[in-house]
Amino acid sequence: MKKNALFFISVVLLFSIGIHLEKWVAGDYSKLRLTDTVLATSLSKQKPASDSSTKDDENTLTLMTDENIELRHPLKRFEESSTQNFSWRNLEPAVLVDEKTNHFILQSGKIYLYPNPKSPVYPNYKQYLHYMAISRQTVKSQGKLWYQVAFPDEVIGWVSEDQVVMHNEDYYFYQTGGAQPNLSKVEQLNIEVSIRQKRVYVKSGETTIYTMLCQTAREGYSTPTGNYAVNTYRANSFWSTFGGADYAVGWKDGGLYLFHSVDKETAKGPYAKSQGLKLGVTGSGVSHGCIQLAIPDAKWFFEQLPTGTPVTIRA
């Protein structure tokens, strides 16, 4: 009887050791459910409430959910059928490198749902190739750096360092929200600007169809809030005692308050890099009250934004 009991205890101990060893080698993904899975992971420094012995600075792989990241749009969930042959235990642990913002163009390859080439691929990833993306997390896995991919706030997955070309010093020369829709075909077109978030939302009714980075008034000036409409003022280029820019579209008081490009340093250029690198950066703005946009985003509005389009400016 004692021999049977000892044998049973030995089997249980060996099984337990095997499970913990597997978790140590491959990471514990057994608790993840497909219904809870989203298009990106977040490496956050968390301390599980049930384990007081876990160190605060331990990197724990967790799902990015609406509860642990603030995004304007909910993360899209992918279909269970796309992951039916995928095992979470195939993923190796990833180590958080930093959480600074990077701007890059996707040059090649696929967008993965997790920072690992064995993970499922984001559907229709090809539509994002050769466009400017934003990353707010960098991790290291399998000897490579992996960058989180967002356009510009909606996280869609991860790409490795050999798939991208960095543009942290000139991202204002590129459209900031991916492929731009044809505004002439958008029903119930309206524009919403968030001064706090430094974002311009192109909407069809209540649905946001495109998001781009912007900048607003600096200290001592103000960008007026309220409901307005695009007026008839247009200028391919302008210059005044307050400075100037390109691709101007009026939305209040004729040509007083505008959508326009990053400011220029002189009437003939170049564009002011110090202002361009603040596009999308929260805090105090850079303008005298106008809404500054990346150069191709401003050109898009100049060419396609119809007169009479409603514009809502929110604090």
CA gap 119, 86 in Å, rounded:
7
Q: CA–CA distance from 43 to each of 47, 96, 147, 192, 213 (Å)?
A: 12, 6, 12, 32, 25
Half-sphere exposure in the Cβ direction for 46 (13 Å, CA): 12
- Given the residues 103, 214, 260, 288, select the one marked as catalytic: 260
Q: If phi over 0 gives left and psi between -120 and 50 gives alpha, with beta otherwise, what is residue 26?
A: alpha
Q: 20 is written with which tokens?
A: 């913990």
- DSSP state, 26? H
214 is catalytic: no
- Given the residues 103, 214, 288, 290, select the one marked as catalytic: 290
Residue with tokens 């331990």: 58
167 is catalytic: no
Q: 221 is written with which tokens?
A: 């000036």
Q: Which residues does the annotation mark as catalytic?
A: 260, 290
